[in-house]
Chains A and B, each alone.
Chain A
Amino acid sequence: MRPEQQGVEVAVLVSVGRHPITGRARRADQDARGLELALGLGHQLPGSRVSLLHAGVLDEASEASLRGYLGMGLETLTLLEQTEGADAIPALAEHLAAAPPQLVITGARAERGEGSGLLPYALAERLGWPLVSGLAAVETVENGVATLLQALPRGQRRRLKVRLPAILTVDAAAPAPRQSAFGPARRAELEVTPVAAEPDRELAQWRLAPARKRPKRLKIVKAASARDRFKAAAAKAEGGSGQVLEGVSAEQGAEAIYKLLKEEGVLPR
C-alpha cells in the first residue's frame, strides 16, 4: 500500500431485495455486492469509513432484510423512515448533500417497485456528481481521484479515472458478497430518522402486474413461392456470401485472415 493513500468516506445505498423464486424480502444481490466492494476498499485503504443508508418503510420484513447487510460486518445503518410508496430520491439527496461522502455506491437496479435503475442517475443529476456504471473494482483513491475498473460485456474491463465525489453503481460483475452473520446482524443498530415523504403519484397511476412471459419471436419467412419457403425452412448453411481462398500459400491465407481480424479489431494492441 502506498503511503499517500488515506481513507475515504464511502456511503453504500441499500434496498430491500426480493428473492426471485419465493418473492420473500432479502438483502438485494447487487446492493450486497456494492457493500462487499466498499468493505474491500476499507480493507485496502486503512482509515476508510463505510456507512449504510436506506430510505423506506420500517417493518418486520424490511428490518430483517436490512439486517442482512449489517451481518456483513457493520455496526449501524442509517434508515430514513418514509411511508409506503414515497419517493426515496429527495430524501437520499438531501441526506447525502448535508454530509457528503467521497464515494456513493449503489446497485444498478432495485429488485422491487419500478426497478428502473434511475435512482443513482437522479442523485448524480441532483448533486452534480459524476457517475460511473457497471463497476468491477476500485483500484486506487489518491488526491481526490479514484481509478476504477469498469466491467464491459464479454468479460472485458476498462480503466477509468473519476474525480471525487462520485456515484458508482455495481451489477453482477462486482465481487460476490460475503455471507451475512446472524448474531452480529441481530446486535447491530438501526438509526432511524423519520423524514418528510412525498408520495410518488405517477407510479401510483400505472398498472402493475406480474410479468407475463414474453412471446418468442417467430422466424418469419417472406417468400413468394413454396419452393423458397421450403428452402428457407430446410436451409442448413447459406453459402455463397463468403470468400473462399483456394490454392493459396499459407502466407497469403494468413494475410487474409490477419486483415479480417485487424478490421474487426479483435487483435490485442
Chain B
Amino acid sequence: MSENRRRDPRREWIARNRLHPEHASVLAALGEIGGGAAASEWLGPNGVIRRNPRAIGFIGPNGVKRIDRSGAQQGGQAAGGTRQAAQDSRRQVTIEAPAFLVAVVPDLSGGRLSGHDKDLLGLARRLADADPERPGAVLAVVFGEHKEDSFGEAGIDRLLHLADDAYAGFAPEARLAALAAVERELAPRHWLLPDSPLGGADLGRRLALRLGERPATGVWQLEPDVGSPLGWRCTARGAAESLDIQRPLPRVALALAECAEPVDETRHAAVPLSLAEAIPSALSRIEDLGQVAVDPAGVALAEAEFIVSGGNGVKDWDGFHYAARVLGATEGASRVAVDDGFMARHRQVGATGTWVTARVYLAVGISGAIQHLQGIQSCDKVVAINLDPGCDMIKRADLAVIGDSAAILAALVAKVEQQRGGQRDAA
C-alpha cells in the first residue's frame, strides 16, 4: 500500500451508521485492515480523531468485557499474536566481513547450550562488538550431535559444527586436534571456553598449552584497557576462590558462569562454516569405554539428572518405587508425601527441601505449590502426571498428561520394559 492513507467517506459513513444494511460487512473489511478487531479509533471527516468506546476491549473468559489500558490488548486469540511480536523484537544482525574472530567452544551439555554457554557467548559479543566501526564475529565450534536450534539467538555469527564420531564422549585429543586446525586456518583473536569441570576447563587448558599461551582461568570480569596487548583487562579467581587476579586478557580465557549477560536483544546469523583442510586424526592414547551404570538411588538429589518425584496423588507407592527403578531415576517427593511417611525426609524437593537441578523432572501427582515449584526452578524439562488439568504443575510442565498416576506409570514401565526386551532379542 502507498504511504498516503486513502479515505473512503462513503465507507466511513456506513461504518458509523449501525442501521445501514452493509454496516456489518464494511466493519469487517475495515477491521481486516485495522488488524483483527473492529476499529475503535479513526480519523473523522474533519480531520478529528473519532473514537468508538464500544469497540475497545475484549470479551474475557467469563463472558465479561475487559479493557486493557496498557495498549497491549490481550485475551482471546490476540495473546498468541503478542507473544509472536515479543519474539520478533530482536534485532537481526549480520556481520559480513568481520575484522576478527572470537572463537567460543561451548560445552553443549545434553546437546543444548547451557546457561554457562550463553553467558560466555554474551562475553564473546562484548569482545566482538566493542568497536562498532570494526565489528568482530563470534565463531562457535560445536562438537558432536546437538539438539540446539537457537544458536543465532545466543549471539553466534559463524557456526563450525564438527559432527564426527571421533569427538563423541571423552575425546580431548581429537577435539584438541580439531581446535588446532581451526587456529591454523581461521586464527581467531580470542579463544573463550567455559571453566566448567570436564567440559571447557579440561579442553581449554589443553588448548592454551598447545597454542603456547598462558590462559586466564576463572575469569569473571572484563574491562577495556588500552595498556594491554589485546585491549582488555580481566579479573580472575585464583587460589581456591580466595584471590582476585587482575591481569591483561590473554588470547585464551576460561570464564566462570555469569561472567556476562547473555544476548537478548539481537539475533545473529549463525552461518554454517567448514574448514578447508581436513583435520589430521590425532593419535589417541585415551579410550572412552562409555558411561558406567551408577545406582540412581545413591546419587544426591541436588545433582541427580533425572528425578521421578511423587506427591499426594501417588496411591500405589510400590508401583512408584518400581517405576523409578525401571526408569533409572532418582526418587524425589513433595512435602505431603514426606509428611505422610511415604518417603524419607532427605527426598523432599522444594523450598524447605532440596533445590534440584535435574535435566528432566517427572512430577507424579504433585499439585505444584509455590514452595515446591521453587525447588524445581532450574530444571530443564518438567513432565507432569496429574488428574487436575488446572493445577499449577501443569502450567509449569513442558509435557503434561492428565490421568491417573498409577495407570500411566504402569503403562510407562510396560513400554520401557517392552522396548528393552525387544532390544535384547534383536541383539
The interface of chain A, by Cβ under 8 A from chain B, is 18, 20, 23, 109-118, 121-122, 124-125, 130-134, 147, 149-150, 152-163, 166, 171, 202, 205-212, 214, 217, 220, 222, 224-228, 236-248, 250-251, 253-258, 260-261, 263-268
Indicate whether B344 reaches chain A with its CB closer than 8 angstroms: no
- Is there an interface contact between A115 and B287, defined as CB atoms closer than 8 Å? no
> Are the CB atoms of B239 and A206 closer together than 8 Å?
no
- Chain A residue with Cβ nearest B250: A202
- Binary flags per residue of B395-427, CB closer than 8 Å to A gives 1, else 0: 111111111100110111011100100000000
Give the distance in Å from the alpha carbon of A264 to the alpha carbon of B300 in the complex.
Answer: 20
In the complex formed, the residue of A with least CB distance to B327 is A267
What's the A-B contact tally at a CB cutoff of 8 Å? 261
Find the B residue at minimum CB distance from A263: B147
Complex Cα distance, B328 from A264, in Å, reads 13
Q: Point out the residues of chain A lying under 8 angstroms from B71, CB to CB.
A: 225
Bound CA span A244–B210, Å = 51
* Cβ contacts under 8 Å, B329 to chain A: 266
Q: Would A254 and B202 count as touching, CB distance under 8 A?
A: no
B292, A157: Cβ atoms under 8 Å? yes
Cross-chain contact A159 with B300 (CB below 8 angstroms): no
Question: Does more than half of chain B's interface fall in helix, strand or loop, or is it mixed?
Answer: mixed
Tell me if B366 counts as interface (CB < 8 A to partner A): no
Beyond the given pairs A155-B298, A266-B360, 9 more chain A to chain B contacts, judged by CB atoms under 8 angstroms and listed by A's residue number, are A158-B292, A160-B289, A210-B244, A239-B395, A243-B399, A247-B402, A248-B401, A264-B306, A265-B110
A153 to B411 CA separation, bound complex (whole angstroms): 31
The answer to the question of B193 belonging to the interface, with a C-beta cut-off of 8 Å to chain A, is: no
25 A-B contact pairs sorted by A residue (CB < 8 Å): A18-B239, A20-B240, A114-B245, A115-B240, A118-B208, A118-B214, A122-B209, A133-B197, A147-B289, A157-B294, A158-B169, A161-B289, A226-B70, A227-B70, A244-B389, A244-B394, A244-B397, A250-B404, A250-B410, A253-B401, A254-B412, A261-B306, A261-B327, A266-B305, A266-B329
**Those 5 A-B pairs whose CB atoms lie nearest each other, nearest first:** A254-B411, A253-B401, A239-B395, A227-B70, A155-B299
- Choose, from B11-19, B152-160, B215-223, the stretch at the interface: B215-223
Nearest A-chain residue to B384, judged by Cβ: A242
* Interface residue from A208, A236, A254, A267 paired with B392 (Cβ < 8 Å): A236
How many B residues, CB 8 Å from partner? 97
**A267 CA / B325 CA spacing, docked (Å):** 11
- The chain A residue sitting closest to B212, CB to CB, is A125
B205, B286, B287, B416: the one contacting A258 at CB < 8 Å is B416
**Chain A residue at minimum C-beta to C-beta distance from B288:** A160
Q: Which residue of A lies closest to B256 (CB)?
A: A214
Please tell me if the beta carbons of B292 and A257 are within 8 angstroms of each other in the complex.
Answer: no
CA distance A134 to B199 in the complex (A): 11
The smallest C-beta distance from B247 to any residue of chain A, in angstroms, reads 4
User: In the complex, A153 Cα to B242 Cα: how many Å?
Assistant: 23
Q: Do A121 and B205 have beta carbons less than 8 Å apart? A: yes
Tell me the B109-162 residues at the A interface (CB within 8 Å).
109-111, 147
Contact of A150 among B70, B170, B419 (CB under 8 A): B170
Complex: A152 Cα to B303 Cα, angstroms: 11
A166 neighbours in B (Cβ, 8 Å): 285
Given A209-B246, A264-B381, A267-B416, are A130 and B292 also a contact pair (CB < 8 Å)?
A: no
Determine if B293 is an interface residue (Cβ-Cβ < 8 Å): yes
Q: Contacting A114 at CB < 8 Å: which of B238, B291, B357?
A: B238
Minimum CB distance partner of A226 in chain B: B70
Given A158-B170, A253-B385; A163-B285 close (CB under 8 Å): yes
Contacts of B396 in A (CB 8 A): 237-239, 242
Chain A residues positioned under 8 Å from B244 (CB to CB): 208-212
Q: Is B198 an interface residue (CB 8 A)?
A: yes
A255 contact set on B, CB distance < 8 A: 415
Distance of A20 from chain B, by nearest CB (Å): 7
The complex places the Cα of A216 from the Cα of B265 at a distance, in Å, of: 21
